[in-house]
Structure 1
Amino acid sequence: MSTDPQISYGSRDPLFNDRVQFPSFYRTIPDELSELKVIVKLIKHFGWKWVGLIVSDDETGLRAGENLEREMKIRGICLAFFIIINNGLLASRDSIEIKEILVRSTANVIVILASLMNVDFFLFFFAVFDMPEKLWILSSTFLKVLRVAYPQNRKTFNGVLVVSYQRGEIPGFKEFIYGLDPTEYKEGILFPNVSERLSDCELSNTIPSRTGISLPICTESEFFDEYDLPINDTTNFRISYGVYTAVYTMALALHKLYMNQKLESHPESRGNLQAHFKQWQLNAMMQRKDFGGAAGDRMYIKAKGDPSTQYELLKCFFSEEGGVQTVKVGSFDTTKPAGNQLYINSSADLWGPYFTERPKSQCNEPCLPGYRKYKIKGEQPCCYKCVPCAEGEISNSSDAQSCIKCSEYEKCNEKRIVCIPKNINFLSYSDPLGATLSSISIIFSIGCSAILGIFIKYRETPIVRANNRYLSCLLLISLMLCFLCTLLFIGRPTQICCLLRQVIFGIVFTISVSSVLAKTLTVIIAFNATKPGSKLKKYVGTQLAIILVFVNSLGEIIISIVWLASNPPFREADTLSDPNYIILLCNEGSGCFFFCIIGYIGTLALLSFIAAFLAKDFPDRFNEAKNITFSMLGFCSVWGAFVPAYLSSKGSRMVAVEIFAILSSSAGLLGCIFIPKCYIIFLRPELNRKDNIVRKQ
């Protein structure tokens, strides 16, 4: 390849971007890749994801189509269809199929890329069929030929967007063309034909008119400036302006190179400057960025030999008379910062005449807030289904790729658009369940106090004395505390309540069950002590019972102290059990210690049941073994059912299950042991006599 600088006025092939093969090749217009990037940026700017593409069946069209498809795929834009049109298409059934594709497609934006030699056929092809109303984006090759479009084209392409080269004014050209005298160029070939087209007259003494139409002879006074014709708009040059700027740039480079060598050369060699001029020097000089043209025009040549990429975005409207009005609605300039290269005039009529607002171009309807995209297997990424967000997730925008998970303290609203705070839940006194349980506990505790008062009042009666009145009073006090300790489980949990409630429950319940066990052993010892020669007489009395209660309670206290010292309970907010609520509860810290307390109480209750069962055949009115047997049977049943019920419950229901177990087991002890005695005291006083209490053998 020659190193002489070469300037092409119209080449757009990306092949010449290779500076190794073509080190001195320069363009006057950007290559086709830059135009495709402008189209992609335009599509991306307006948010279109589903776009149709039509190309010409030649090397230029196919290459441009493949490059555009690749650029669109990189930026997440999908092709609704890729249609290739060739000159023989009208004679086949494919033309009808193409029309059906355009009618059925949900893509409202269609890009047409065609080489200059196939533009005329494209206009003819689209003039044959009635096309649906779409927004067309055309390449720069269409701009000049739109003026000779067919009548049907004026309807189809009305409002088309065209990506065009930047236009500019060639200094002095307007004055030059206005000053031409047709009579001075009668012997030329090109000028007479141009003159005939502009002035509708024939120059005399010239070759015959090439138009084939008989025209009148032009007069000497007929000049170009007398006609208001489109060519007289000398600021509307695009390709020509690029050629002018490139040639001026090369001329300026040659001039600077000449001046530099003239200043550096010796006096004896100034007559032969050409000997010191090298081709690579001109090539290097042209790539510098300090060449200013007339009227401030400047051509910056980049490393690939291209001028700076500057495009205009034009909106073309067809008038009823057939004329074309082009309106500049935007521009693209790579010399500006990356975020400001694309400019769109939002006040211009961008979407008329067929659209009142930015048209939607999508494979399917967008996903509403509260939904997310779900990719359809085998389809393009732009085609998807909309599925609702999962529980606890939201999407607050259209076409959300994924849903946003709410924080652990929030939940989604019904439409799954926003996260709202979760309601706080705990077993409160205002809840029907909490109010019922607290009322029951207070009523039973009052009942315990009443029975305690009765036993104190009738403490000297045989029925009270016969059953160890001190243990009975201790049992009543502990039962009353058992009922009242359930109030620690109701209400908003606090750190103090969480630390104390299980410990207090365990200790007072241990005292209750230990008292029952002591009462049972007292009955057994008292009955066996009456046998001749029995050594159990020395154990008859209250001292053994009190020691037994104290020792059993001490074991529970030790377990509680170790629990609080090693892994104490603490207040916790449960955000996982219920997606709609934050459940405030007490974390027991160590489930092992909690079930150790329950197991310890259960062991004492089982021993009491066994002892009472063994003593059930003692004289009926001497002991209460049968009553204790029934009470322990109920107690063990309640707490046996408590364990699976507690483990299967969550949140505030766990607390309610434990409260119910405490109340029901305590009520069973109170009813089975003390209600029969109250019945005898008040309703059968005749039985409350010593001769009826002691049944002699």
Structure 2
Amino acid sequence: MDEKEIQFNHKPSPRKCNYPSLIYYQHYLAAIFAIEEINQNANILPNLTLGYRIYDACTSESRAAANTLSILTGRTASVPNYSCNDKGTLAAFVGHLLSTLTHVVSDMTTIYKFPQISYGAQDPALDDRQQYPTLYRTIISEKYHFVTISQILKLFGWTWVGIICSDDESHQSAVNKIKFEITKSGGCVEFVAVYTTENVWIKTKFLEKIKSSSANVIIVSSDSHMLLHILLSIHTDIELKKFLIFSSSLENMSNFGDSSLNGSLIISDNSSGIYIPACTMNDTLGMTGTSYFAITNFYITYNLYIAVYGLAHSLHEIPQSVCIGICQAGYRKAEKKGLPACCYECVQCSDGEIANVSDMENCIKCPEDEWSNENRNKCIKKTIDFLSYAEPLGLSLAILAILLSITASLVLGIVIKNRHSQIVKANNQELSYSLLLTLILSFLCTLLFLGKPMKVTCMFRQVTFAVIFTTSISSVLGKTVTVLIAFHAITPGSMLKIWVGKRVPRCLVLLLSLGEVIICIMWFLHCPPFPDYDTRSQPSVMTLQCNEGSAVAFYIAVGYIGMLASVSFITAYLARGLPDIFNEASHITFSMLVFCCVWIAFIPTYLSSKGKYMVAVEIFAILSSSSGLLGCIFIPKCYIILLKPKKRVKEKATSKKK
């Protein structure tokens, strides 16, 4: 013991295990082998899986106590009287091999009523059912060895013997019982030599007793670990010419040279025949070979094996008396009317709820971004869904938008190429160009609605749609107002003559478009759109969509477009009867009628749709209304330009005088 330990002001370091033994390692393998066999056997503990935690006590009582507390609490840093075990229910303890450590472990396991099965402890004190009510053994008590030893001594007439024992309480008690049996059979004990590895003075006295003894038969009562020290000390200091009788089975004696055991008798526990050839008085243990002696050690390993199986069979045979079995994970308990609380039925959790352990009273609701799996015992991430180019619906809408934009571009090209024709000049070229350009952009802006919603696309797709559509409707309104002003300005004394020209439609389109721009700016400043997940519309699917931010701002922007469309429809309806072969008011009237019908039908369809289909409905409405404007206003012009270029229009354009 060094100076630091004597001062008692430092926490002692934990005892380290040295010199690992293959003999003990085979015990470890036997335990694992038995557990795996049981888990694979459908006839033992079905639907249950045994686990294990294995600790090495290193023949240290303090370490055995610390390991036991670690198992009880479920943590390496043990906390007495608290259980933090999250890896299963603790069933029992198996061990220890040594009696002294079995006492330590059992003193703690008895408090919590955990069963313990020892496969090597033979101390008769462990037979006390009042002190150790939960301790069981797969090896017989050492008290039967004491009677056997006394009978051997009596048989050979050995009445003068010595006793060697280790300095622990268990073997001190065993020595007293051995002395009692020897005295009872008529023998005498010359000395009792107590061996310790700690005290050098006691160790010296021990060797002096052995040297000065006249007894040729010495009984050894010690555990296998201490026995190695005893034999090593004897073999080193003196020449051993004594006949040794070991009071218990020594499973690791193969670690020590057989020459040190010449003339020794070992009391062994065997349930079947002992396969050893008959020997003469001149034979020694060294003649048997170390391999044979090592094989005989397997009975301790087998004791451990049957200890694990005994535990498993005990758990399997525990009787059950319940009204109904366990409600497995994924199910909850539900009361049965007219029956006691012990009788219930197992009801599977609803969609979106789970029961992750058995016998739950209530199911647990999954978070908004998760959904219950098929077994209702685990929450899993919802599938993220959006209208993408990869799926047939998204791809079809994208192709349709591109084809319509190409069609509008071709119409624009035809109009520009024939810009000097009477039919193009008569209907305000600038507004025709503006309308066709905005129609091309309106077809293309639908592509912003496809694909994974991102912050940029969410912010600009509705705004782009609103501004472009406002410009389109403003251009249509400007064309109609231009026709009305032109035909009413020819009336004598009309004040509308000053409004004739390109200035009025230009200002009208700019002012009306500016109104929508102001609405969108206020929308951005107040609450801009952003990507968001819709977790409520569809149970197992999480739709990634654009949240409009402010629903009020969105409806104001769309309502502004609807107001302009209504005004354009009314204006075109009033101008439809004006006497001009190139008066397109009737075409505008029909186009605005189509436009309004599409968007009126859009509102209930949009509100009744869910997830990505809401986006598809809006894209279809944009494409349909824009196609109505393109087809109703410009297809008749293209028909005249391409198919009837020589049509005489001068005569038909003359106004009636009456």
TM-score, scaled to structure 2: 0.52
Give 1:667's aligned amino acid: S
Structure 1: gaps spanning 5 or more residues: 1-45, 47-162, 176-344
Matches within 5 A, 1:354-369: 357-369=317-329
Identify the range of structure 1 (508-517 vs 538-547) with the bigger mean alpha-carbon deviation: 538-547
Corresponding residue number in structure 2 for 1:348 = 310
Corresponding residue number in structure 2 for 1:453 = 413
Give 1:495's aligned amino acid: K
* 2:532 paired with 1:564: no
The match for 2:354 among 391, 394, 397 is 394
Corresponding residue number in structure 2 for 1:154 = none
Q: Secondary structure at the match of 2:310?
A: coil
1:512 Cα offset (Å): 0.2
The alignment's C-alpha RMSD in Å is 2.9
The CA distance in 2 between the partners of 1:388 and 1:694, in whole Å, is 84
Change (3 A) 1:615 1:641: same
Residue by residue over 1:172-208, the C-alpha shift from the partner in whole angstroms, topping out at 9 and shown as x without a partner, is xx99xxxxxxxxxxxxxxxxxxxxxxxxxxxxxxxxx
- Percent of residue pairs bearing the same amino acid type: 54
Q: Is the 8 A contact 2:418 2:424 kept in 1?
A: yes
Corresponding residue number in structure 2 for 1:586 = 546
1:380 Cα offset (Å): 3.0
Residue by residue over 1:589-624, the C-alpha shift from the partner in whole angstroms, topping out at 9 and shown as x without a partner, is 111110101111111110111111111111251311
Change (3 A) 1:393 1:550: same
* 2:402 paired with 1:408: no
Q: Is the 8 A contact 1:621 1:695 kept in 2?
A: no
Corresponding residue number in structure 2 for 1:481 = 441
The match for 2:645 among 667, 685, 689 is 685
Give 2:543's aligned amino acid: I
1:470 Cα offset (Å): 1.0
1:373 Cα offset (Å): 1.1
Residue by residue over 1:513-538, the C-alpha shift from the partner in whole angstroms, topping out at 9 and shown as x without a partner, is 00000000111111112223333233
Identify the range of structure 1 (454-463 vs 684-693) with the bigger mean alpha-carbon deviation: 684-693
Corresponding residue number in structure 1 for 2:630 = 670
Change (3 A) 1:688 1:661: farther
1:439 Cα offset (Å): 1.2
Matches within 5 A, 1:465-544: 465-544=425-504
Matches within 5 A, 1:133-148: none
1:485 Cα offset (Å): 0.7
Corresponding residue number in structure 1 for 2:581 = 621
1:416 Cα offset (Å): 1.8
Q: Is the 8 A contact 1:374 1:387 kept in 2?
A: yes
Q: Secondary structure at the match of 1:676?
A: helix
1:166 Cα offset (Å): 5.3
Change (3 A) 1:427 1:167: closer
* 2:540 paired with 1:553: no
* 2:590 paired with 1:636: no
The CA distance in 2 between the partners of 1:349 and 1:532, in whole Å, is 117
* 2:365 paired with 1:385: no
Change (3 A) 1:433 1:167: closer
The CA distance in 2 between the partners of 1:548 and 1:167, in whole Å, is 102
Q: Secondary structure at the match of 1:686?
A: coil
* 2:555 paired with 1:611: no
Matches within 5 A, 1:175-574: 347-348=309-310, 357-574=317-534
Residue by residue over 1:64-85, the C-alpha shift from the partner in whole angstroms, topping out at 9 and shown as x without a partner, is xxxxxxxxxxxxxxxxxxxxxx
Give 2:508's aligned amino acid: L
Number of residues of Structure 1 aligned to a counterpart in Structure 2:
365
Matches within 5 A, 1:20-169: 165=130
Corresponding residue number in structure 2 for 1:597 = 557
Q: Secondary structure at the match of 2:442?
A: helix
Q: Secondary structure at the match of 2:545?
A: strand
Q: Is the 8 A contact 1:448 1:480 kept in 2?
A: yes
Structure 2: gaps spanning 5 or more residues: 1-44, 46-127, 134-140, 148-306
Change (3 A) 1:349 1:571: closer
1:357 Cα offset (Å): 4.2
Structure with more contact order per residue of length (Cα contacts < 8 Å, sep ≥ 6)? 1
* 2:617 paired with 1:657: yes
1:460 Cα offset (Å): 0.5
Q: Is the 8 A contact 1:681 1:688 kept in 2?
A: no
1:419 Cα offset (Å): 2.2
Q: Is the 8 A contact 2:402 2:443 kept in 1?
A: yes
Q: Is the 8 A contact 2:333 2:359 kept in 1?
A: yes
1:686 Cα offset (Å): 3.0
Q: Is the 8 A contact 2:581 2:649 kept in 1?
A: no
Identify the range of structure 1 (656-665 vs 412-421) with the bigger mean alpha-carbon deviation: 412-421
Residue by residue over 1:429-460, the C-alpha shift from the partner in whole angstroms, topping out at 9 and shown as x without a partner, is 11221111111111111111100000000000
Q: Is the 8 A contact 2:423 2:582 kept in 1?
A: no
Q: Is the 8 A contact 1:613 1:626 kept in 2?
A: yes
Give 1:361's aligned amino acid: S
Residue by residue over 1:253-278, the C-alpha shift from the partner in whole angstroms, topping out at 9 and shown as x without a partner, is xxxxxxxxxxxxxxxxxxxxxxxxxx
Give 2:351's aligned amino acid: E
1:398 Cα offset (Å): 3.2
The CA distance in 2 between the partners of 1:590 and 1:550, in whole Å, is 26
Structure 1 moving runs of 4+ over 4 Å: 163-169, 349-352, 693-697
The CA distance in 2 between the partners of 1:349 and 1:508, in whole Å, is 80
Give 1:520's aligned amino acid: T
Corresponding residue number in structure 2 for 1:240 = none
The CA distance in 1 between the partners of 2:624 and 2:309, in whole Å, is 79
1:347 Cα offset (Å): 4.6
Residue by residue over 1:6-26, the C-alpha shift from the partner in whole angstroms, topping out at 9 and shown as x without a partner, is xxxxxxxxxxxxxxxxxxxxx
The CA distance in 1 between the partners of 2:132 and 2:619, in whole Å, is 88
The CA distance in 1 between the partners of 2:565 and 2:335, in whole Å, is 63
Corresponding residue number in structure 2 for 1:113 = none
The CA distance in 2 between the partners of 1:487 and 1:167, in whole Å, is 80
1:386 Cα offset (Å): 0.8
The CA distance in 2 between the partners of 1:552 and 1:406, in whole Å, is 49
The CA distance in 1 between the partners of 2:466 and 2:334, in whole Å, is 55
Q: Is the 8 A contact 1:621 1:694 kept in 2?
A: no
The CA distance in 2 between the partners of 1:373 and 1:694, in whole Å, is 90
Residue by residue over 1:197-242, the C-alpha shift from the partner in whole angstroms, topping out at 9 and shown as x without a partner, is xxxxxxxxxxxxxxxxxxxxxxxxxxxxxxxxxxxxxxxxxxxxxx
Corresponding residue number in structure 1 for 2:198 = none
Give 2:639's aligned amino acid: Y
Give 2:493's aligned amino acid: G
Q: Secondary structure at the match of 2:532?
A: strand
Change (3 A) 1:469 1:399: same
The CA distance in 1 between the partners of 2:539 and 2:438, in whole Å, is 40
Q: Is the 8 A contact 1:494 1:571 kept in 2?
A: yes
The CA distance in 1 between the partners of 2:582 and 2:492, in whole Å, is 18
Change (3 A) 1:623 1:490: same
